[in-house]
Amino acid sequence: MSDDLQLEAELNAAFVTPDRLYKGEPLAPYTEGSRLLCLQVRDEADSPIWFIWSFLYMHLLLAKDRRAAIRLAWDKDAYREKLLDYISDKTEEDRTAASTLVGSILDEAAQGRVEVLPPAGPQAPPSGNG
């Protein structure tokens, strides 16, 4: 396996999640790559519910057409327009379901993270002029 393919496989395996659906549509798995795309379209002024819809929409796009989703992520204005079109007919019930689904995906990903602990045994004294 080439280094590029191996790196891509490792990034895509960074977060493990079962196949998920929203309103019968498949979502792409939450990976380091999809997280980076969500950050690409993010704005500091985004509300929490905007983040939820954006996260969900990005993962729906990735499941349908990965290349198109990546291209769209680099045109933030077009992405936001398409997201608004997508949510234009959504209800409060849809928003609640989206919030629950995205929350469970993010919680699951957070549980998969580990904290690196120092090795057991005697530790060398800190170096430097302290």
Q: Per residue in 64-97, pLDDT tens?
A: 999 999 999 999 999 999 999 999 999 999 999 9
In 3D space, the residue among 52, 10, 51, 48 whose CA is nearest the CA of residue 32 turns out to be 10
Which pair of tokens denotes residue 91? 């209800």
The 3-state DSSP composition of the chain as helix, strand, coil percent (nearest 5) reads 60, 5, 35
Highest mean pLDDT among 16-20, 79-83, 112-116: 79-83
**Would the pLDDT of 27 be above 60?**
yes
**Would the pLDDT of 37 be above 80?**
yes
pLDDT of residue 62: 96
pLDDT band at residue 40 using 50, 70 and 90 as cut-offs:
very high
Cβ partners under 8 Å of residue 29, min gap 6: 12, 15, 16, 17, 19
pLDDT band at residue 20 using 50, 70 and 90 as cut-offs:
confident
- pTM for this prediction: 0.72
Out of 13-22, 27-36, 40-49, 82-91, pick the least confident.
13-22
Give the angle 76-77-79 at the CA atoms, nearest 5°.
65
- Do residues 57 and 86 touch, judged by C-beta distance below 8 A? yes
Q: Quick check: helix, strand or coil at residue 20?
A: strand
